[in-house]
Amino acid sequence: MDHGESSYRRYLAGDNEGLHEIVCAYRTGLLLYLNSLVQNIHIAEELTEDTFFVLMTKRPDFSGKSTFKTWLYAIGCHIAIKHIRKQARQSIVPLESQEYLSDTTDVESSYIRSEQKSQVHQGLHRLKPDYRQVLYLSYFEGFSNAEIARIMRRSDKQIRDLLYHAKQALKKELERSGFTYEE
């Protein structure tokens, strides 16, 4: 039984500290994942809060068919998808961009790394949403293909194919923008 599952079971039994533990353990990762979907950190914060609000109010049943983290991210994903669909109906497009800063002391290498991160980030945002989502879940969150399949509601083969095509699309996008690899 993983940490999140035991905390959630305790919360369902009436121990509010269990929900607090879940929020502390998963908030940042969930926020970054949702940001990769909606491309707006402020909206991602709201969606993260909505995800935990669902746990708090609706108290959905965790069946244990996946890890707790996979289950939680799937709930967040479905909330984000509903938000995206609602925004599409209202014809609102997020225009916010993000910049990443490096903490290294070498200014030149710091600048190069931040430019590369920016190029990769921009390249990711030019990809199809499914490509962006599968790359984020795999590389930034470390989910297995099976866990990604559960979150995205696809088969393992579809995820393998999607991941392959997403990597190819990102590589082409980065080459098109003149991305250079630091040795």
The long-range contacts involving 160-164, CB below 8 angstroms and separated by at least 24 positions, are 162/130, 162/131, 162/134, 163/134, 163/135, 163/138
pLDDT at 13: 94
Structure tokens at 57: 């109010």
Give percent of the chain with pLDDT exceeding 90. 56
Q: How far is CA 122 from the centre of its chain?
A: 16
pLDDT digits (tens, 9 = 90+) for 102-148: 333 455 555 556 666 667 777 888 899 999 999 889 888 889 999 99
pLDDT at 7: 94
* Domain limits, the chain: 1-96, 99-183
Identify the helix (H) or strand (E) that includes residue 1: none
Residue 175, Cβ neighbours under 10 Å: how many?
11
Fold topology of 99-183: Arc Repressor Mutant, subunit A (1.10.10)
Statement: residue 98 has pLDDT above 50: no
CATH architecture under which domain 1-96 falls: Orthogonal Bundle (1.10)
Q: What is the mean pLDDT of residues 68-84?
A: 93
Q: What is the mean pLDDT of residues 148-174?
A: 93
User: Can you tell me the distance from the alpha carbon of 131 to that of 29, in angstroms, rounded to the nearest whole number?
Assistant: 19
Lowest pLDDT segment from 55-64, 85-94, 143-152: 85-94
CB contact at 8 A, 119 and 174: yes
pLDDT at 2: 63
Angle in degrees, CA 5, 6, 9, rounded to 5:
85
What is the model's pTM? 0.66
User: Can you tell me the distance from the alpha carbon of 147 to that of 158, in angstroms, rounded to the nearest whole number?
Assistant: 13
Q: Residue 64 gets which letter from DSSP?
A: S
CB contact at 8 A, 22 and 29: no
